[in-house]
Structure 1
Amino acid sequence: MKTQLKMGEVVTSTLAFKSVLKPVFMQLEARDKNSSEALLSTFCALEQHHPGFCYNLLSEIIERADLKININEVVLRLQECATDTVNEHYLLRSEEPFQDLNRKSAALKAILSRIPDEITDRKTFLETIKEIASAIKKLLDVVNEIGVFLPTLSGKQAVEQRKKEFVKYSKKFSTTLKEYFKEGHSNAVFISALCLIRQTNQMMTTVKNICE
């Protein structure tokens, strides 16, 4: 297996574990709970200590099966379903801003997951890009509303830093789109979209850790 992975591949690997492998283990739980828990724990540890392990594993399976599959595209397509199967980013606070943040983050990831189906239709894709920009703004607006619920200065600073990172990757995504319309490299768009989804998840995790 490969050992050196690019940043985009590591991001894909993290999301692949959550959206491809973890749901499989959850289905196995109904048949053999002990085996399911053991596999989940093992793969969690492997991905944590060896970032990119899941990417390499899936890439190896695809290569040996001689499948013409773009792993970044597959993982991106699965992100809408992943919002239903992976609950670690879901906020349990009942106040409306927290529940609205759940909705806005899920909406953004769902729109981004449509990119592989729509990227080849220029007119449709341009409309999707507008939806993404609107979803990003709505998500940031809700994050700002949550500021009044943050109990400490350090908590406010942590969320503010996450917000800055999210904005940075949003701008990178915009730049990647401009390059796509010039050069036509769709895989770069898939990777950039996955990076933005990862930033969304990290935003949710940060808020969750501070407020729950």
Structure 2
Amino acid sequence: MTMGDEAPVTSLVLPVILRPILAKLERQNVMAAQTLRSALTKAENSYPGFTYDLVLGIVRKSDLNIDMNESVLRLQGTASDCDVVEYRSARSEDAFQELNRKSTSLKRILSRIPDEITDRKTFLETIKEIASAIKKLLDAVNEVTGFIPGSAGKQALDQRKREFVRYSKRFSNTLKEYFKEGQANSVFISALYLIHQTNMIMVTVKDKCE
């Protein structure tokens, strides 16, 4: 796996694996959970990939045979519920709430890929769902653009949208290759890139609108 391919999984370990664990811990000990969350977030911001290395180290020490790409993708389905702050807009307008729903929906559908990829008929239906969810997310982004003040903010979101479209096309090409060659891991990686790009859209919207 090249460094470029590692990028999506390294950025998703904190929100997908660790944040749900911290949410459970918070129900038992708020102070400990918040301290730990703050420390991990600071470490990740200062040293991107830190939490990935941490989890990978634990996995290796435990002698567990885990594919991190597949595992993180699968866990995204449950982690979407913890998107409360970082990847959700707090704005009350319908356009922002719709964007929240569409981004969560796309990530949930993508998270089903590891379970469904081996059943061709089911997987083909899921691919149709993903294509529809991508279109709906882009429509929701377009609706939100009108709320962004100033041309610089609009340009920043437009750039994010273009990146998202680029990775959507890459995902589509990866699927074509999968049906020829059967490399499931490349599909997992491409889906993780799409999840990462979805998160980046939400971060940009929050940054420019809140």
TM-score, with normalisation over the residues of structure 2? 0.92
User: 1:53-132 maps to which residues of 2 (within 5 A)?
Assistant: 53-87=50-84, 88-132=86-130
Q: Which residue of 1 aligns with 2:45?
A: 48
Contact 1:5 / 1:52 at 8 angstroms: preserved in 2?
no
Corresponding letter in the other structure for 1:200: T
C-alpha displacement at 1:174, in angstroms? Answer: 1.0
* Number of residue-to-residue matches in the alignment: 209
Corresponding letter in the other structure for 1:36: A
Encode CA deviations 1:10-55: one digit per residue, 9 max, x unaligned: 3212211112112222322344333322322221122222222222
TM-score, with normalisation over the residues of structure 1? 0.92
Deviates more, 1:69-78 or 1:29-38: 29-38
Within 2, Cα distance between the matches of 1:61 and 1:204? 30
Within 1, Cα distance between the matches of 2:120 and 2:143? 35
Encode CA deviations 1:95-152: one digit per residue, 9 max, x unaligned: 2211111111111011000000000111111111111011101111111122221211
User: 1:12-51 maps to which residues of 2 (within 5 A)?
Assistant: 12-51=9-48
Corresponding letter in the other structure for 1:11: P
Contact 1:155 / 1:210 at 8 angstroms: preserved in 2?
yes
Structure 2, gaps ≥5 residues long: none
C-alpha displacement at 1:205, in angstroms? Answer: 1.3
Contact 1:10 / 1:51 at 8 angstroms: preserved in 2?
no
Contact 1:101 / 1:143 at 8 angstroms: preserved in 2?
yes
SS state of the match for residue 149, structure 1? coil
C-alpha displacement at 1:68, in angstroms? Answer: 2.1
Within 2, Cα distance between the matches of 1:49 and 1:43? 10
Q: Which residue of 2 aligns with 1:6?
A: 3
Q: Which residue of 2 aligns with 1:154?
A: 152
Deviates more, 1:143-152 or 1:34-43: 34-43
Within 1, Cα distance between the matches of 2:13 and 2:29? 22
SS state of the match for residue 43, structure 1? helix
Within 2, Cα distance between the matches of 1:48 and 1:96? 31
User: 1:121-200 maps to which residues of 2 (within 5 A)?
Assistant: 121-200=119-198
Contact 1:76 / 1:190 at 8 angstroms: preserved in 2?
yes
Within 2, Cα distance between the matches of 1:86 and 1:44? 14
C-alpha displacement at 1:5, in angstroms? Answer: 6.9
Instruction: Provide the aligned C-alpha RMSD in A.
Output: 1.7
Within 2, Cα distance between the matches of 1:18 and 1:176? 25
